[in-house]
Chains A and B, each alone.
Chain A
Amino acid sequence: MKMKQWLLLVTLLMMTVTSAVGCSKSQAKEEATTVPPAPAQEDTTPIKIQYWHSHDEDQTAGLDYMIKEFNKKYPYITVEPVFQGDYDELQQKLMAAVAAKQVPAVTNVEVAKVPNFSESGMLADLSPYIARDKMDTADFSTGMLKAYNYQDKQYGLPLIVSTSVFVYNKTMFDKEGVTPPQSWDEIEAFAQKLTKKEGNKTTRFAFSVPGWSSWYYDPWIMNGGGSVLTQDNMSAIDQPDSMKFMNKFKEWKDKGYMHIGYGKGASDTMRQMFFDGKIGMVEHTSALIKWYMEKAKFEVGVSFLPGDKKRISQIGGAGIAVMDMASEKEKEAAWKFVQFMTAPENNIKWAEFTGYLPTRKSAIESEEGKQYFSKYPQYKAVFDNFDNVMPRDQHPAYDEVSEFYVQALGKVVLENADVEASFKEAAKQMNDVLAEYATK
């Protein structure tokens, strides 16, 4: 009998339990460690720390390079990189590690998980270290730094940062004489020119916005002047400003300008349609800019998301953080590694290796940075808006509640449902969960 999947689930739940009882004892100790660590006199006894990460194959060359350079600077610290799969897998392994009280010293943390991990005491507060070593945090992009800050404590630093951008078919745009729209008002004229139709059916869409993840339209909500959560953490999704984007999307979709991919496999379809010239411009993560440039048989351009009341884009990717459960000595070594990985000196090189964005203002303005932009002019569009790459609202239940307006959008896209009714319903569902969360 196939009880296996079910059992696996239960077993997984259990494995994390067994040691959890013991963990509760360390609670009191944790409070004590928030005191800024004393400036360590250089302790150079050899130490080995583990770095758990999600850098996939095409980033390992960069990681190897960084670790080698790090070893030149700190020969007594050995960093052992351990690939733990994608962000979800990494996260599950971290939870198991915490339960087993055998944690790595340094880890990646996906930006969306910062509230959860910080709140549960999994990550060490880096603020005392930053203050002690007088790290110049103002050099980081404001939004990127803020994304790893939770309730005024810096729980990590930005490492591989991406944001959503419009990737467009420059060859097609030049031929048709259009440029990417910079504001919502420009979209009508732009799309009218680019859309091709046969009868009622669109054969070429002007642009596509992924509907499968709220990450892609959260910035649209913000740009329209709305927000997902209110100040006191209730749903703001049914405010007129928050729904403005959806009404626009519906209008553009009904006119045949806009393609909205929804559900599993939609990402592949969207990319293929873009490569086949069936879509002129797609919103996607900046982490894939290089990939698009390599795969496309035409010239690829990149444009920042068009704005309305505001013009921002949302942060994605992961940061680097120190595990709170590691020993003081490990934390000290881990902090050195974190500093090194995010330092301005290696920032451009790292970005070039990984395809993610540089995070340091000084690095972008350096000679190396200028060369980088002449080599990849596509990234320029992002950096002209460097400080407008913002984190989303931080709430531990964000992922859960965002599911509701993803569904509301789905209802509008797939079943032509009424915008206001679907978003009102989503707001109600969001509030139920948020209320449940508040009473917890």
Chain B
Amino acid sequence: MSGQLTPKKRLLSFSTLEKWKDFSLALPALLLLAIFTYFPLISSFYISLTNWDLIKPIKKFVGLLNYERLLKDDQFYRVLKITFTYTVLDVALSLLIGLGMALLFNHRSKAFGAMRLLIFMPYYISMVIASMVFVWILNPEYGVLNKALEVFGIDKVFWLNDTSTALWSVVSVSVWKGVGFVMIIFIAGLRSIPTEYYEASSIDGASKWRQLIHITIPLLSPTTLFLIITSFISSMQVFQSVSVMTGGGPLGSTKVMVMWIYEMAFVQFKAGKASALVIIFFFIIIFFTFVQFSLSKRKVHYEG
């Protein structure tokens, strides 16, 4: 046998075989992705070109009509604006408060460990439960918050029933819940900054504030980028808290994109139009993620 094993006679070279082996090992994972991600995505695209109502067996092909209707619809731009407002508020507040807390609680002692745990705790709570608790806290007649404000003589605020406060209320739940996570990641980032920089700069007479601006924040930028990208994507797709707390109301003032998609598909049975919206939204998110990555190439400071 060994005599026949000349390079010419081999059907596949060793390295090709090796590549196939690698591929076959990745196959189960790829298969799952194909079934649960790529196939739905492509199918969605197909449905978006029909007028399917989710029940009828017939799907009439309507071309780009769904896209045309959506892009001409004022509500599309309104929902998009609300979704971006929510995202900017959520990401900015979580990151700012999270950074503040990270700076505050970045001490190695048992007491600080316990405090960090307490701040991190809401992260473990399911979003639905957290939202329900906040619905009670914010209840205009019986809620704790209004009762507390009453002591200071502040009149009833209809937190979730007022178009000017509803979005802020939903954002506050998300910030409250997510800020602990942001803090922990920032603390990990802070601890990887070499102390020599601080020592050197304090010898040069730099104040704490200048150290923060010129050392801490620039050197935290990879962490910040990671947090911005992950929370941007999850904020854009907010659904549970909105669904539980306001259902998109009052007067549509908290109707975010996923909420609208849900309504369109499962309340109004416009699967075709909803799929078109899914596709548009998919590209919007991809676009912004891409923008963030390319901006970061110039700005982010990776410490070796």
Range of interface residues on A (Cβ < 8 Å): 35 or more
Give the distance in Å from the alpha carbon of A72 to the alpha carbon of B52 in the complex: 44
Candidates B230, B250, B252; contact of A262 at CB < 8 Å: B250
CB within 8 Å of B: which A135-183 residues: none
B80 an interface residue at 8 Å Cβ cutoff?
Answer: no
B135 touching A265, Cβ below 8 Å: yes
Q: Which residues of A contact B268 (CB under 8 A)?
A: 397, 399-400
B233 an interface residue at 8 Å Cβ cutoff?
Answer: yes
Q: Which residues of A contact B58 (CB under 8 A)?
A: 24, 27
A16 an interface residue at 8 Å Cβ cutoff?
Answer: yes
Give the distance in Å from the alpha carbon of A3 to the alpha carbon of B36 in the complex: 12
| B-binding segment of A62-70, A294-302, A352-360, A409-417 | A409-417
Assuming the contacts A23-B57, A120-B55, A415-B163, asked whether A3 and B40 have C-beta atoms less than 8 A apart, the reply is no
Smallest Cβ-Cβ distance to A17: which chain B residue: B43
A5 touching B44, Cβ below 8 Å: no
Question: Quick one: CB contact mask for A1-40 with B, threshold 8 Å, 1 for yes?
Answer: 1110111011101101100100110110000000000000
B36 touching A7, Cβ below 8 Å: yes
Q: Which residues of A contact B41 (CB under 8 A)?
A: 10
B161 touching A266, Cβ below 8 Å: yes
B53 touching A120, Cβ below 8 Å: yes
A117 an interface residue at 8 Å Cβ cutoff?
Answer: yes
Where chain A touches its partner, the secondary structure class is helix
A269 touching B141, Cβ below 8 Å: yes
Point out which of A14, A120, A399 has the most chain B C-beta atoms below 10 A from its C-beta.
Answer: A14
Smallest Cβ-Cβ distance to A429: which chain B residue: B75
Give the distance in Å from the alpha carbon of A411 to the alpha carbon of B266 in the complex: 25
Give the distance in Å from the alpha carbon of A95 to the alpha carbon of B57 in the complex: 11
A414 touching B162, Cβ below 8 Å: yes
Question: Quick one: CB contact mask for A79-113 with B, threshold 8 Å, 1 for yes?
Answer: 00000000010001001001000000000000000
B55 touching A5, Cβ below 8 Å: no
A269 touching B142, Cβ below 8 Å: yes
Cβ distance A105 to chain B, nearest Cβ, rounded Å: 18
CB within 8 Å of B: which A410-439 residues: 410-411, 414-415, 436
Cβ distance A325 to chain B, nearest Cβ, rounded Å: 10
A73 an interface residue at 8 Å Cβ cutoff?
Answer: no
Cβ distance B60 to chain A, nearest Cβ, rounded Å: 8
Assuming the contacts A7-B36, A269-B141, A407-B252, asked whether A116 and B135 have C-beta atoms less than 8 A apart, the reply is no
- Chain A interface (Cβ < 8 Å from any Cβ of B): 1-3, 5-7, 9-11, 13-14, 16-17, 20, 23-24, 26-27, 88, 92, 95, 98, 116-117, 120-122, 262-266, 268-269, 272-273, 397, 399-400, 407, 410-411, 414-415, 436, 440
Q: What are 19 A-B interface contacts by the 8 Å CB criterion? A: A10-B41, A11-B40, A13-B44, A20-B52, A23-B57, A24-B58, A27-B57, A92-B266, A116-B269, A121-B56, A264-B135, A264-B160, A264-B245, A264-B249, A268-B139, A273-B141, A410-B250, A410-B251, A411-B251
